[in-house]
Structure 1
């Protein structure tokens, strides 16, 4: 068994995986609409700010949590953005699972737990 052949086989399987196909299609839709792209980018920025604070041991304020929850509720009303975020979540889950399988096979932690 050639490891490289198996890696190429995995790559081909990923190209046809529903999670990958749906995520790519949703990404193209989001990137083709400047308003939707800005909405997602703003949401990501706020998520990252909260996450960064938490990593520093700083608890987010009630206002910050309410703000991001409100923003999530607003963007969730936009079906294209909602579909994108759902497709992204399914793809992320697939990717984490693959990293865990590979890490377990060689007994190395690739840090997949950090992405959760």
Structure 2
């Protein structure tokens, strides 16, 4: 297989507005160590809660409350909110690309809790 189209896709991703916006905001937001630590904790709790939901279990009340508090704090800062939203847009773009590629390969990939 010739991977040249894959490398073009990688470059197209790097040239996309979603990618550029995310990386510009990331550099700025993550430069502040307290904010960076809160974002790392936010992501950790988000993953814990999502994994609980995917396995059919309720997330721990303490984790949910902590996640809610950190979310409110992070999203109250305009630049951090913009960064997190840009991250979601980039993730959605990559999920769309993954879906297109797996459909082209006629490959059925199922993730728990996600309808295909």
Normalising by structure 1, what TM-score? 0.81
2:41 maps to 42
Bigger shift: 72-81 or 89-98?
A: 72-81
The 2-side partners of 1:89 and 1:19 are apart by 9
Structure 2 alignment gaps of length 5 or more: none
2:53 maps to 54
Query: In the TM superposition, what are the counterparts of 1:62-77 in structure 2 within 5 Å?
Result: 62=61, 64-77=63-76
Structure 1 alignment gaps of length 5 or more: none
Normalising by structure 2, what TM-score? 0.81
1:82 maps to 81
Map Cα deviations across residues 60-104 of structure 1 (whole Å, 9 max, x no partner): 255543442232112111122111101100000000000011111
Higher helix share: 1
The 2-side partners of 1:58 and 1:114 are apart by 12
Residue 50 of structure 1 contacts residue 60 of structure 1 at CA under 8 Å; is this kept in 2? yes
1:21 maps to 20
Map Cα deviations across residues 21-55 of structure 1 (whole Å, 9 max, x no partner): 11111221122110110111111122122223334
